[in-house]
Chain A
Amino acid sequence: MDHMERHFVLESDVELTKADFTSDQMVKWCPGCGDHAILSSLLNVFPKTHHRKENICMVSGIGCSSRIPYYVDTYGFHSIHGRACAIASGVKIANPSLSVWINMGDGDSMAIGGNHLIHIVRRNLDVNITIFNNEIYGLTKGQYSPTTKFGQITKTSPYGTIDYPFNPAELIMGAQGTFYARALDVNPKLTTDIMLQAAEHYGTSVVEVLQNCVIFNDKAHAAITDREVRDEKTILLEHGKPMIFGKNRDKGIRFNGTKLEVVKLGENGITEKDLLVHDETTEDTGIHMMLARMKGDMPVAVGVIRSVKKKVYTQMFEEQMAEVKASSKYKCVDDLLNSGDTWEV
């Protein structure tokens, strides 16, 4: 067993299905909300992780997406706004055998909960984070969030926002994240594939799902996710494969000096060999950051952009405890109470 492997494998001894993980609670999201598709992807992933239902703990904060624990038949904690990562850290450290899943919206994770997000990522706890990014506050009915596009008119920005938005990927990589992927609610198969890879990643995995809020920010991602434009406006990055996209798979990405550029295969003698080949395992965040930043004239990157191995907090925690325990002169609290200078009266 190499040191990167999990300490605890508590597998289910029977094959479970999506239905096994579906709770008896009525799902109360708006019809057409992107959250339905994300929930479905999660429910598809759980049986494939081979965990017992009791071994999974869902942790969320506050927001539409944070209702998820009620809809999954596992252990779950629907906590308070912004604090899902902090609560999940305690769950995981206290009970490392649990498979911990954190679900947050963009406001929950990057405004009120921004501090906890960057710190859980920095520590690389073995947890799985899904960020439902609809670029708006939905549950409070339509105020701009930290990811709302610059200049957008919302309830609290009637003349357009003057806040520059976060790109979640930059936060994650800036915090030395070991796994970052981007998925689309309109592509459940892709989302499921990515979530399974996230589940298999040992360390903090972050999956940002571009999700639509039909009521307060409809078509927020339409410019890249609509069926007619999706192939031209997005590129699926796959480890070890050249970066090709387009309906006819005739476009690619290459380096030009210090910048990325889109090139057309066959034009000016450009072949597949000239294209960048995706390496999700590069330790340096530079290229992953550049890929995650692509927009406008460049296609938006989806898929697993970064997946690197780094020793995991929870494992080091256990190892340190075991090491200290083995060498300590204190075997019980009585030993401690009677240590050092003591005297009999």
Chain B
Amino acid sequence: MSNNQVIKKDDLVVRFAGDSGDGMQLSGTLFSDASALTGNDIATFPDYPAEIRAPHNTIAGVSGFQVHVGTHIYSSGDKCDILVAMNPASFKSNLKWAKKGATIIVDIDTFTDEAIEKAGYTSNPFTDELMLAYTIVQAPISSFTKKIGQEKGVDNKTADKCRNMFALGIIFYLTHKTLDHTFAYLERKFAKKPALIDLNKAVLTEGYEYADKLELIHSKIVEVAHADMPKGRYRNITGNVATAWGLLAAAERAGLNLFLGSYPITPATDVMIELAKHKALGARVFQAEDEIAGICSAIGASYAGALACTSTSGPGLSLKSEALGLAVMTELPLVVVDVQRGGPSTGLPTKTEQSDLNQALFGRNGEAPCIVVAASSSANCFYWAYNAAKLALEHMTPVILLTDGYLGNGTQLFRIPKVADLPAINPPIAKANDPDYMPYRRNPETFVRQWAIPGTEGLRHRVGGLEKEDGKGSVSTDPENHKKMVFNRQEKVNRVANCIPEQEVMGNVDADLLVIGWGGTAGALTLAVEEMNNEGKKVAYTHFNYISPLPKNTEDILKKYKKIVVCELNNGQFVNYLRMNYPQYPMQQYNKVMGLPFEVSELKEMFNKILGE
């Protein structure tokens, strides 16, 4: 790698974009894996179309994958320092994600008149203005790859599939990394097809060497410093896989069977796909005929004594509403994972949003309180899934876990815990032949009823959706009893607040401005607040994971700050929930409903504006 000057940086964003079949998700993954293995912190986010294979070379067919590497990474980053665009359509639609001055690598061979026109250009895309604003590398990726293919004696179609390796080779050169990890991957992946190992390695190397000969970019080589992370064993993980593993860990720790009843829905399906692999660990996965059967089978499994879960996204949660009410009424443990996406209706299935909060809190008939919690990073989906299961089992109630498409599909480094170190889970299972057993007798402290599992001697009982007599559990329409039972079910959820930690304030706690976020926006908010404070502005920040019930000290926090702004990816569902609970504290709101995560820059701009008011 010659004697070129290498720029040292704390973080770098690389975005891979191309046609749906161009292998951009793979290039991105290989780059992030290599970065993680060489000591960087990482976060990634795939940005893919709802169509599986939209027409070739169209904007609709563009698939992207962004990787943020650095010393201390909270999110997949705003705009990129390096962009790979494998065809005119991906260049056109991704240019807006490139920082001014970014290095952009295009496969110039794909910029035919026809493809340029198909992407919606009416003239040469590489205007003088663009060429000045960015470092644009017009690499003949397709022809290089084809040539190597011919040398190796493979057909053009096979060779063409390796174009992403050429681009990846350039990226490794630009980021001052070696090819070792990707070589190792190729050897594993194509262990049975040595010819493909040889071909892919050759194309990857050629890309690297091409970059080495290209003086244009020799001043652009960046080395990202190693991350300073707590000691431990690490891996890369997506939010959806972390969610699935959290549920597995909870079932094992609680000594219960894990049951998942689900129906495929974007972007939640990967939770089911992951759990379906783990029959060896006791995961009983049932692909139901519809969303309703998904949750109902889970409720049946819960009655029968399993840690029961269902995974879904917005429209699916709507379909599950009635059954969720049944779980509230029967006071059975149940974890409902909602990987939120853009709504309403079918909405934006592959894009992220936080707009299911209202339906999680209120979307049921009758007075039907649930516990609602939200994960705030791809990696902590593991802990929130575990925690959701613990709360459901110990408090005998449905728990809705809100994640979102950004967390679910994004990846982060995950410090691997030991299952034995996770908090114990102690469900209130009733003992056989307990002469005092009554289905709706409650623990006076927690208001939690006992779980009598069918098959157990001497605890025969019936549950159901009709109102039950306090204690005994027979059907009752008595007005006073109904009032009491409505109170009991609410009080049981309220008292969960006694068992959860207090809400913490980060940033500058003595600031005038308090920033509030919840769920999947923590990455961008944390970084924005951190940068503000580093720049000498005073900003406090609190991020909610416990939504219902809210932590007990929530009001103590709200009353300390002159200005409060609640930031969320919807039209103000959490701020209105806070206003409903604490009407005496004025709160501003910052909302984004574009199917996209927050950008740090827009948040800072808004914080500065509020501070200046």
Which residues of A does B touch, CB under 8 Å? 10, 25, 52-55, 57-59, 62, 69-70, 73-80, 83, 85-95, 97-98, 115-116, 119, 317, 320-321, 324-325, 327-328, 330-334, 336-338, 340-345
Asked if B460 is at the interface (CB within 8 A of a chain A CB), the reply is: yes
Interface pair A94/B281, CB less than 8 Å apart: no
User: A338 near B416 (CB under 8 angstroms)?
Assistant: yes
What are 14 pairs between A and B in contact, CB < 8 Å?
A75-B454, A75-B462, A77-B303, A78-B463, A79-B326, A80-B323, A86-B288, A90-B299, A94-B305, A95-B305, A119-B289, A336-B281, A345-B231, A345-B232
Contact A324 B297 (CB under 8 A): no
Q: How far is the CB of B473 from chain A (nearest CB, A)?
A: 11
CA A25 to CA B231, docked complex, whole Å: 62
Nearest neighbor of B252 in chain A, beta-carbon distance: A333
Q: Let me know if A90 and B233 touch, CB within 8 A.
A: no
Inter-subunit contact A345/B300 (CB<8 Å) = no
Most-contacted residue by chain A among B248, B259, B279 (CB, 10 A): B279
Tell whether, in the assembled complex, residue B278 and residue A54 are in contact, meaning their CB atoms are under 8 Å apart.
no
9 cross-chain pairs, A with B, having the tightest CB-CB distances, nearest first:
A90-B300, A78-B464, A328-B280, A90-B297, A86-B296, A94-B301, A95-B304, A90-B301, A87-B300
Report which of B33, B286, B454, B457 forms a contact with A93, defined as CB distance below 8 A.
Answer: B286
Instruction: Write the nearest CB–CB distance from A164 to chain B, whole angstroms.
Output: 24
In the assembled complex, B336 has its CB within 8 A of some CB on chain A: no
In the complex the two chains form, is A90's CB within 8 Å of B323's CB?
no
Residue of B236, B303, B457 with most partner-chain A CB within 10 A: B303
Q: Please state if A86 and B281 are interface contacts (CB–CB under 8 Å).
A: no
Q: Is B423 an interface residue (CB 8 A)?
A: no
Contact (A325, B280) CB under 8 Å given A333-B248, A341-B33, A341-B37: yes
Q: Are A95 and B245 in contact (CB under 8 A)?
A: no
**For window 444-492 of chain B, which residues contact chain A by CB distance below 8 Å?**
453-466, 474-475
CB distance from B447 to the nearest CB of A (A): 22
* Contact residues in A for B233 (Cβ distance below 8 Å): 338, 342-345
Q: B306, B460, B463 — which one has the most chain A CB atoms within 10 A of its CB?
A: B460
Min CB distance A331 to B, Å, is 8
A251 to B297, CA, bound (A): 47
Residue in contact with A317 in the complex, picked from B245, B284, B304, B305, CB distance below 8 Å: B284
Q: Taking A90-B261, A94-B306 as contacts, is the C-beta distance between A80 and B326 under 8 angstroms?
A: yes
Q: How far is the CB of A71 from the nearest CB of chain B, in Å?
A: 10
> How many residues of B are counted as interface, with CB atoms below 8 angstroms from the partner's CB atoms?
69
Asked whether A342 and B456 contact (CB < 8 A) given A77-B464, A80-B322, A94-B301, the answer is no
- Annotate B271-315 by CB proximity to A: 1 below 8 A, 0 otherwise: 000000011111010101110110011111111111010000000
Task: Look across to chain A and name the residue whose beta carbon is closest to the beta carbon of B465.
Answer: A80
- The answer to whether A54 and B280 have CB atoms under 8 Å apart is no
Contact B475 A70 (CB under 8 A): yes
Q: How far is the CA of A338 from the CA of B232 in the complex (A)?
A: 12
Query: B305: which A residues are within 8 A, CB to CB?
Result: 94-95
A59 touches B300 (CB 8 A): yes
In the bound complex, CA of A100 to CA of B130 (Å) = 70
Q: B289 contacts which of A59, A76, A116, A320 (Cβ < 8 Å)?
A: A116
Contact of B455 among A98, A317, A327 (CB under 8 A): A98
